[in-house]
Structure 1
C-alpha cells in the first residue's frame, strides 16, 4: 500500500535555541520538537530519565482514601481480593499487587475472569464469591471503571471496592469506595498515559510513601534503595509496553528502568520466559517485550486461564517457572495457528467480496472465530487495509463479542459511544475497544459506524502516513550523531523511532534474505551504508530493479556484527527518486 510522506514545518529558531542550550545537534532538537517538547525544562526531563520523573501519586483522585483503606487492611490482615484483567497489563498489575501484599503477609486472593465465559471486568457472580470468602476489600487491576452494577452490589454487601484502572470512563462513574484512574473526567493528574500496571504501581508507591513518612524514612517519591519499590518495575515495563501506552512522561522512567531489570532477569519467571522465547544475552528492548515476551503471557488469557501467567511472574521456584513457561509457549503456538487461519479467511473475504476503496469501516462476524484472538487479527487487518475494523465472534445465544481497532485520526471508543444504543456493553481506548452486541444489530452497527467514520475522516486519512522528522544528506549520518540519538529511547507510542528522508541514492548489491527481508548497500558520493528492509523484499523489488536512484525513509542505527559496530539504515519505505540527475 502506498504511503504518504509527511514532513512537518520547521521551527528553525527553536531548533537552534534548544541545540545551543542543551548542547545537542539541531537534528536531535528537531526530533524533540516533533514530539511536542518545546522548552528546555521539558527537554531536560525527557532526556535525563530518573526517579525524579515520577509524579506525586496523591495527585490522583481518591488516592488518599485508597491508601488509608489498604493500610488498614494490611494492619488488620483482612482478606483482599485482587480482581484482574486477562491481558498482559492486567496480569502484570495483578502480579504486582500479589507480590506487594505477600511482603506484608496479607491474605490476598486472585481472581481473573474467563475471557469467553465471563468477559471483561468485574461481574456480580465474582462479587458473590468474594462475599462467601469473607472478603473485605476488592482491589481491581486494569478494570472496573465501567462496572457500576457489580461495584454497587459489592458495596451493598459490605465489601469496599477500590478500582484501579486506566480505561476511558463512562459519563457516570461507579460508586466505588475509591476509583483511581488518571483518565477520570475530573482528574487533575498531569499524565494521562499510565497503563493499568502503571496505576497499580502508583498505588504501591503511595503506600510506601505513607509508611516511610510515618517511620521517618521518607525517600524520593517513595523510591529508595531499602524499600524494594524499584523491584516491581520489570512488571510495570512488561504491562506498559504490551498495552501500547505512550512512552513519554513518567512512563519513560518506568519502562527504561524496567527494561534494565528484564535484561538482568532476576525474576525467576522472567528468566524462564526469556529462555523459552529464545531471548539470548543482550539488552531486552521494547521490541523484545512486544514481539517475544508479551505474546506468550497474553496467550494464556486468550485461550485458557490468565492465572497461569500471574503464577509465572510471582513464583520463586525455578522448576515451576520452567513448566509454566513451556506451557505458555505451547499455548502461544496454538494461538498463532488459530490466528493465521482466521486472518487468512478474512483477507480472502475482503479481497474477493469487498470494494475496500469504497468502504469506511470493516465489520465482520462469524460463529467460527475464536473470541480470544480476534483482537490480534483485527489489528493486522487494520495494518493491511487501513480501515477501522471490528471483528465479532458470534455465540449460540445470538450475542456477539467483538474487538475493535482503529487508525490514527479516528477514536473508536468515541465512535462506539455514538452507537451505544446498538450495543449491550462496550469499553476501551482511542484505538482499541471491546464490545458485546446482539447479532441482529451488527448490520446496523456497520452502517452507522461507516457514516460516523465518513463524517470524521477525509479521503487522504485512509492512506497510511509516515511522519518524517527531517530530510538530510546521507553524508550527515555518522557515529557521533547516532551516539547522541541514543539518549532518545525507549521508543514507542508518542516517542517513535526517528524517521529520516534521504534522496537520490544508488542501490548496489541488493539481495533477498530469508523472511522476505531486503538487504542492500546504498551510496551517494563518498558515503556508503548498509541497509535492511524487514519483510520488504516482495513489495519493493520492482522499484529496486527498475530505478537508477531511490529516495528512502529510514531510521539510522548502530548494528553489532561479528563483534564490531557499523552504521545501518533500517528502511521504512522506498520510492523512485524525485532527484534529477
Structure 2
C-alpha cells in the first residue's frame, strides 16, 4: 500500500537559479529540502570543512579534554571501548588513532555481540581493571550504561562517555526525566542541555569531534586528522544517519578522500569487492563495503574489522579483506533464510493483523535480527521487532517506520526489558522469554496509528515532462549528491504514459526493461528493479500508467542514452 504525495514548496525559483547558476528545476528540488534562505542553500551547495562546527560547543567537551590531556601527559593507560557495528568500529579506530598521534598509551576493546551484548558491561570493566587501565572512553555506547559506569567508578576508573544515542528517561506525570550516567564527562549531542548546533552526528562523528578538539587543545594541528573523515563518512552512511548539515559535509569530503585513501585496509576491501575507487558513492558503502565491516561483528568478532583498518602491510590487509567478504557472503545466506522464516510465520498466524510486528525466531542468529527486521519492515510497511533466543533470555532488534517512534514506544514497556536502547527508527532489546508475548500485545494495544497512517509515503519532488530531460540537467543533479537518508535522490513523476516492448532480463529475473511514451509522443528508455514479473503483469493489464522515476545517463558499448529508473508504478 502506497500513498503518493507531490511536494509543492513555494519560492522564487528564478531568483535561486540565477544566484547559484542552476536551472529552476534544480532550484525547486533544493527548496523541497526545506532550505529557505540563500545562506542555507549556499551551505547546502558549497559547504566545506571550514563550515564544520567547533566541537568545544558540546556539553562536557571541556571536561573531557582536561581529563584526557592530563592522562596523556601522565602516560596513564587509556582504553577505548567501542561497539561491534560499522559506526562503533570506525569510532573506535578514530579515537585510538587520534590518541596515538598525541602520544597516548591507548588500546581498544570491543564487546562480543553474543557473549557481551551491546555496550559496557561488568566483564569489560573487570577486564580493564585487571589490565591496569586508568581511563575508559566509550564510543557509540555508554549513554545508557548508568549502573555499569557507577560500578567502574567505584573500582577507581575514570570514565569518559562519547555517544550519539538517545538519553534514557523515565516519564513522571507526562514529563521526561533524563538519566545521565555518572561518568566524569558525558559527550552526547542528544543531551537536552547540549548547546551543539547539530544533534544528528553518528558515534564516529562525535569521536572525531573529541580528537579534533583534544588535538587543538594540546597545541597540535588538527588538520593532520583530516584523513579520519573517511571513517566518519563510512560510519555516517553505514549507520543510516541523515545526510544533512555537518553529515553532508563529512560524507562529501570523506568520499573524495576515499578515492585516494592511504588506508591499506580500506583499499584492500574496495579491491576485493570490486568497488571502483574513482567512483565510490554512498551505495557502495551502504550495500557492499559497510556490510563486510558489519559482518565481522555479526558472525565473528568486530576486532577483525578493526584490525583491517589498522593494517600496516598490504598482504595482511588483503587477507583480512577477503575474510570479511567471505563472512558477509555467509551472512547473506543466513539473512535470506531468516527473512523467509519470518514471513512464513507472519502469513500463517494472527501476527498478520498486528500493526507492530513482533516476530520470535528462536533459532535465528541474533546478529542478523536487525537486518531481517529491516526487510520485514520494508515488505509490510510496519514497525518490526525480530527476537531470537540468546544465552540468557531473548535478544532482538527493531526497525521502524516514519510515523512510529520506536524508542518512545519501547520506553513505555521498559518494565518488560532487561536492557534496551536506540532511537526513533531503530532499537535493540533484551528480555526474559516469558515477556515476548506480553511485549507483542502491549505494543499493539498502545499503538494508536491507523492503517492509513502506516501506508508507505512516496514523496515526489515534482512532475517532470520528458521534454525537459536532457544530459545537462542530469549532470546538474549531481550538485545535490551525495544521496542517502535525509537527502534522497530527486524523485519525479509523470502520468498517462504508455509502455512499449517490456522485457524481463537479468540472471535473477528481477529487472524489467521497456520504453515509455508520454502524451506528447516523447519516448524514453526505462528500467525497473524489483518484482519484475509482478510489474509486467500490472503493465499488461493497463492502457496507461503513472510512474515515479529518476533519470540518469546510461553508457553501454560506447553508446550514451538517457534512461529512466522507475521506482513506483500505479
**Residues 1:498 and 2:490 aligned together:** yes
1:262: Cα distance to partner? 2.0
The match for 2:191 among 171, 179, 184 is: 184
SS in 1 for 2:452: helix
1:181: Cα distance to partner? 0.6
Question: How high is the TM-score relative to the length of structure 2?
Answer: 0.94
The within-5 A match list for 1:266-281 is 266-281=262-277
- Compared CA separation, residues 348 and 520, structure 1 to 2 (3 A): same
Equivalent-residue separation in structure 1 for 2:360 and 2:309 (angstroms):
35
Equivalent-residue separation in structure 2 for 1:342 and 1:123 (angstroms):
29
Corresponding residue number in structure 2 for 1:421 = 415
Contact 2:342 2:361 in 1 (8 A): no
Corresponding residue number in structure 2 for 1:328 = 324
Contact 1:473 1:503 in 2 (8 A): no
SS in 2 for 1:96: helix
The match for 2:544 among 546, 549, 555 is: 549
SS in 2 for 1:322: helix
Q: Deviations over 1:365-397 (max 9, x none)?
A: 232111111110000000001111111112365
The match for 1:340 among 329, 336, 341 is: 336
Q: Deviations over 1:119-155 (max 9, x none)?
A: 1111112112211222121111110000011211222
The within-5 A match list for 1:459-538 is 459-514=451-506, 515=508, 516-524=510-518, 525=520, 527-538=522-533
Equivalent-residue separation in structure 2 for 1:74 and 1:523 (angstroms):
67
SS in 2 for 1:460: coil
The match for 1:197 among 201, 204, 229 is: 204
Contact 1:162 1:178 in 2 (8 A): yes
**Residues 1:376 and 2:371 aligned together:** yes
Corresponding residue number in structure 2 for 1:540 = 535
* Unaligned stretches of 5+ residues in structure 1: 576-581
* Unaligned stretches of 5+ residues in structure 2: 169-177
Equivalent-residue separation in structure 2 for 1:461 and 1:443 (angstroms):
25
Question: How high is the TM-score relative to the length of structure 1?
Answer: 0.93
1:425: Cα distance to partner? 1.1
The within-5 A match list for 1:327-476 is 327-354=323-350, 356=352, 358-395=353-390, 397=392, 399-453=393-447, 455=448, 457-476=449-468
The match for 2:260 among 264, 284, 287 is: 264
**Residues 1:9 and 2:2 aligned together:** no
1:544: Cα distance to partner? 2.2
SS in 1 for 2:562: strand
Contact 1:18 1:39 in 2 (8 A): no
SS in 2 for 1:433: strand
CA RMSD of superposed structures (Å): 1.7
1:355: Cα distance to partner? 6.1
1:169: Cα distance to partner? 0.7
Corresponding residue number in structure 2 for 1:578 = none
Q: Deviations over 1:312-333 (max 9, x none)?
A: 0111111111111111112112
1:418: Cα distance to partner? 0.6
Equivalent-residue separation in structure 1 for 2:129 and 2:375 (angstroms):
42
Equivalent-residue separation in structure 2 for 1:340 and 1:486 (angstroms):
34
Equivalent-residue separation in structure 1 for 2:548 and 2:165 (angstroms):
34
Corresponding residue number in structure 1 for 2:138 = 140
Corresponding residue number in structure 1 for 2:171 = none
Equivalent-residue separation in structure 1 for 2:403 and 2:12 (angstroms):
27
**Residues 1:237 and 2:236 aligned together:** no
Equivalent-residue separation in structure 1 for 2:500 and 2:103 (angstroms):
65
Equivalent-residue separation in structure 2 for 1:290 and 1:366 (angstroms):
26
1:424: Cα distance to partner? 1.4
1:564: Cα distance to partner? 4.9
